[in-house]
Amino acid sequence: MVVSLRGELDLDTAAQLRSAVDGLLARDATRIVVDLAGLSFCDSVGLSTFTVAGAACAGAGGYLRLAAPTPFLLRLLGVVGVLHRLSVYDSVEAACQADSTHLVVPPDPGPKRS
């Protein structure tokens, strides 16, 4: 199942995404791809919604994959560590097929400073 987001994902709209995911899970749709191409903004509540929804899908035996993030969102996902928690693909098609050649890899943080 592909869920396409448009506009802003924030305190005012994150509950709608969570409700949509809960509705899909209630209908045994446990494999969900979230199309981020139309998302112009995402705050910490939105990011938290992704991780909570991902855990709910995994708990039901499925997955939540993120797809087609904008450069802004991709940077945000990397900075806050979501790239380490959820699979993020460069396109919806790649996410639906789990094409690992199009998986977005978190940047190497480099050597740790003492």
Provide the whole-model pTM: 0.90
Report the pLDDT value the prediction gives residue 105, as an integer from 0 to 100.
81
Give the dihedral of Cα atoms 50, 8, 94, 102; nearest 10 deg: -90
What's residue 114's pLDDT? 59
Residue 110 has pLDDT above 60, yes or no: no
Tens-place pLDDT, residues 47-106: 999 999 999 999 999 999 999 999 999 999 999 989 889 999 999 999 999 999 999 987
**Strand locations in 1-114 (E):** 2-9, 31-42, 63-67, 87-89
Tokens representing 93? 């098609």
Distance CA 60, CA 51 (A): 14
pLDDT tens, 23-61? 999 999 999 999 999 999 999 999 999 999 999 999 999
Distance between CA atoms of residues 35 and 4, nearest Å: 5
Parallel/antiparallel/unpaired status of strands 2-9 and 87-89? unpaired
